[in-house]
Chains A and B, each alone.
Chain A
Amino acid sequence: MLDTALFYIFAALTLGGGVLTITRRSAVHSAIWLITSLLGVAGLYLLQRAEFLAGVQVILYVGGIMVLFLFVIMLVNLDQAAKEKRFSGQKWIALACVAAVALQALWFVSKGAGRFTLGQPSIAGENLGNSEHVSRVLFSQYLLPFELASILLLVAIIGAVVMAKKRI
């Protein structure tokens, strides 16, 4: 009962935050709503007993990346951008895309109901915490993708440094 109530609260935070992110005129307000949305996602992780994921979500996205966003927003001059027309003329194409995706999702749910299982929250009673579970899977089953992702990030960092500095 409490879980259900919390789920709807967090879901509302996530979706409402997302909608407000793209409709606010001030970039800082958008950023604040995006933070709300990300916190909602962290709450959903907590409901699934993925404490580690929730913690990392808050530390990385809310405490790290969004601070950088705010930082950049405060540095650049956004007065001009605020005066411009916000939504370009592609409204109908966007609506068509959304409708297509919604239909797909509906079809998927109606056809596939009962055929696929949702991910289960980590087993309670087992003596391992959530962090241990995540690390065990991450460093055995998904080791290759994990390392590839880290190389990708390294490439991105080096690229950023090369672009930012003419002479190193």
Chain B
Amino acid sequence: MTFALSFYTLAVVKALVLLGILLITLVYIQWVERKLIAHIQGRWGPNRVGPHGLLQPIADSLKLLTKEDLTPPHVHKLIFVMAPFLAVSLALISIAVIPFGGEVEVFGVRTTLQLTDLNIGLLFIFAVTSLGVYGIALGGWASNNKYSLFGALRSSAQMLSYELSLSLGVVGVLLLSGSLSLRRIVDSQAGYYFGFLPRWNVFHGPLPQLVGFLVYLTAAFAETNRVPFDLPEAETELVAGFHTEYSSMKFALFFMAEYANMITVACLATVLFFGGWHAPLPESWGIQYAPLVVGALVAGLLLYHSQGAFAGKQRRSMQVFGVVAALIGAAFLLQPVRVLFSPLFWFAAKSGFFLFLYIWVRGTLPRFRYDQLMGFGWKVLFPVGVANVLVTALMVALFG
């Protein structure tokens, strides 16, 4: 009984911690995105609310919460209200099976840094993301508006087409690791070739999954409705696509769902192809001090730039953040902190890179035309994915 109780308490605590981190990331990834896009386009981005606009996401959330929640008279009420909740809850659920690190001991409690390890973890994620399309499709239909309907139609066609390529890109990884459990997939990527090349699936013998990764990444952009595949909400043609009629919190939920999906897809790319929480170099190369170096570099950069053209509040906040970065880096000198947070550091660094890639691509590429999108999905990505599966299967059968 005590075991069962502690199991439930542990699960609740882990779920709450994960949810907290996820929601903060969700809110601040938008700040990062706006800042980065602004700098790519030679603008400043948000810089009014708080130092460097850091409180802007909170102001936005408050604004969205307090705006009038308009339900147009011609919509199908139940489905119209249900759709955004469906979208966001499905987007948040899939994070439950992502493993963020190995087994750790915190305050005498041994646990894994993962909410639950399903033996069909990967299938679970695909099942949940394949359901995610209903939020968009039903929302667009229930809006009873031709632009929304077209957004919904486009989105269902796009998701169906690209889901195939997404799954095909992953099959190579499954062939190499022989399991659907995400934890076992990460475990199979531990260790190094020649003492320095990590055995991540993008480098893994007998066939490195580089092609599989590219197929996965491209399909993932389409699955999350991001530029250059954001046809369902192409402003120039469809007003705002499927969420034209949505306002206030319901609109914010669709927004959250999109970013939650981005985070899931980035984490999944890390887990499947880039060794999850494993460091890129063995410890004998001193890689365990990387967080320390990163912290010191960030601190130095911030303190150096705070001497520049910034005034008052901006300058002080840069100094504060510099000191915080230095302290976080210094904390990695302590053995227990290093053991607990090093895997998380690598996981966050890799996932963060993929999130950055999303934003980078958004600032770089124009949107596809609709027939190009379908043609690319079926005539390029799908055959490449199939070829990758066949070649990988052959190599695994011969040398695996």
Contact = CB atoms under 8 A, between A and B. Distances in A.
Contacts of A146: none
B120 A51 contact: yes
A131 B124 CA distance: 13
B156 A70 contact: yes
B149 A59 contact: no
Interface in B128-158: 129-131, 133-134, 137-138, 141, 149, 152-153, 156-157
B123 A67 contact: no
A59 B127 contact: yes
B180 A62 contact: no
Interface of B is mostly: helix
Contacts of A131: 119-120, 123, 180
Contacts, number: 76
Interface residues of B, number: 27
Contact of A75 (B118, B131, B153): B153
Given A28-B141, A32-B138, A64-B130, A51 B118 contact: yes
A28 B79 CA distance: 10
Interface of A is mostly: helix
A129 B180 CA distance: 10
Contacts of B118: 51
A8 interface: no
A21 to B, nearest CB: 16
B159 interface: yes
Interface string A50-67: 011011101100111001
A71 B118 CA distance: 32
Contacts of B394: none
A74 interface: yes
A70 B130 CA distance: 14
Interface of B: 79, 118-120, 123-124, 126-127, 129-131, 133-134, 137-138, 141, 149, 152-153, 156-157, 159-160, 163, 179-181
